[in-house]
Amino acid sequence: MKNYFPHLSDIIRAKNTLNEVISTTPLIHTFNLSERYDARILLKREDLQMVRSYKIRGAYNKIRSLSPEELQKGVVCASAGNHAQGVAYSCHKLGIRGTIYMPTTTPKQKITQVKFFGREDIDIVLVGDTFDASSREAIQYAEQSGKPFIHPFDDPKIIEGQATVGLEIIEAAGTPIDYVFVPIGGGGLAAGISSYFKQVSPETRIIGVEPAGAASMRAAFDLGHVTELPEIDKFVDGAAVKQVGTITYDICRQALADVISVPEGKICTTMLELYNLNAIVTEPAGALSIAALDQYADQIRGKNVVCIVSGNNNDITRMEEIRERSLLYEGLKHYFMVRFPQRSGALLSFVQKVMGPNDDITHFAYSKKTNREQGPAIIGIELQRKEDLAGLLERMKEYDVAFEHLNDKPDLFEMLI
């Protein structure tokens, strides 16, 4: 759909529709972030929505726009989790049938939540390793069955529903907003919020934020057209999209001030800080906007800033991976392949002479070779300060330890760890 741009009347109409199901989520002032950045940082808590993300807005607005004849057929969608929950809740609320396609990599917690919200009114189909693969199957099924496809982001009614987040921010802020940081997966939320601010508060700068391993909107901006990334890092599952929407791209190109990306490790660090300092639990995509603040630290000083906390559908079983990625990003966790002499006491000598007083071995895997003078071991060492790495490397060389630093060798790291 070319030349589409959400009109204010469409967004207000969407808000009136959504009053049937959603709560107006709070816009809260966070003191520790405000102090850190010397700015007034406000969090739009969409993680407190009844399906624990903003996705209910677009999903319900789209489904309610369908004709009675279309609703009778039932609906189809594809989602990594949050859109699926929004569609599932809408189906149960309206008493219609829904078929929901999800990637096989979707966290179990999200699948369980989809079943909870949809109850007996939905069927779940797990297929494909990514959202894009799952989406292709869902679209094919929708075309064959004649059922309406509820797109997770590239649809005017979806975008208008997500735009109501911007409307609520303006109503609750009570003061002009200088910056809004918004996460980007397929671009529906960014397109909706930026289009609303473009018309109501054009001086506000809307910054789109993507995970570095799935920066499909940035790629589209750089090329001047939508493109499919050859591969993505699926860790930030709520925003791991190979290709943004054509409609969302056209809107974002007009209304976003910038699109930036954040490393997955930085997102993990932000998730842990939000939990430890603010008692806020987010999913990786939910922490994207806050993780981006470091990149704009100078520009936002003294300004009014809003970050969208987009969701908190996180699986507790992922916390160890989240901590690991954070430690690696912060330079506090290092893996080495060490070739120990095959004699008793070799490891003890390593611990006594090479390890620092605050260093901790958190991973050890040893492979003893027959009739060999040396046996390789994979050792994970956690440091108290990233500056301690220099001393550790220096002692390894001083005591003639045969080693390879695996953090610097991504292909070998992926294979061994």
Catalytic residue of the set 53, 90, 135, 310: 310
CB 171 within 8 A of CB 227: no
What is the full DSSP assignment across 106-143?
S-HHHHHHHHHHHGGGEEEEE--SSHHHHHHHHHHHHH
Catalytic residue of the set 15, 55, 198, 242: 55
CA 243 – CA 321 distance, rounded (Å): 26
CB 237 within 8 A of CB 313: no
CA 86 – CA 80 distance, rounded (Å): 12
Which of 156, 139, 165, 207 is CA-nearest to residue 24?
A: 165
What is the full DSSP assignment across 9-44?
HHHHHHHHHHTTT-----EEE-HHHHHHHTSEEEEE
Q: Contacts for 291-294 with beta carbons within 8 Å, 24 or more apart?
A: 291/209, 291/262, 291/266, 291/267, 292/181, 292/207, 292/209, 292/260, 292/262, 293/33, 293/37, 293/41, 293/181, 294/266
Q: What is the CA radius of gyration of the chain?
A: 24
Q: Respond yes or no: is residue 65 known to be catalytic.
A: no
Q: What is the DSSP letter of 148?
A: P
Which helix (DSSP H) or strand (DSSP E) does residue 198 occupy? helix 188-200
CA 100 – CA 335 distance, rounded (Å): 41
Other CB atoms within 10 Å distance of the CB of residue 114: 27
- Let me know how long the chain is: 417
- Non-local (6+) Cβ contacts of 218 within 8 A are 210, 259, 260, 261
Q: Respond yes or no: is residue 310 known to be catalytic.
A: yes
Catalytic residues: 55, 310
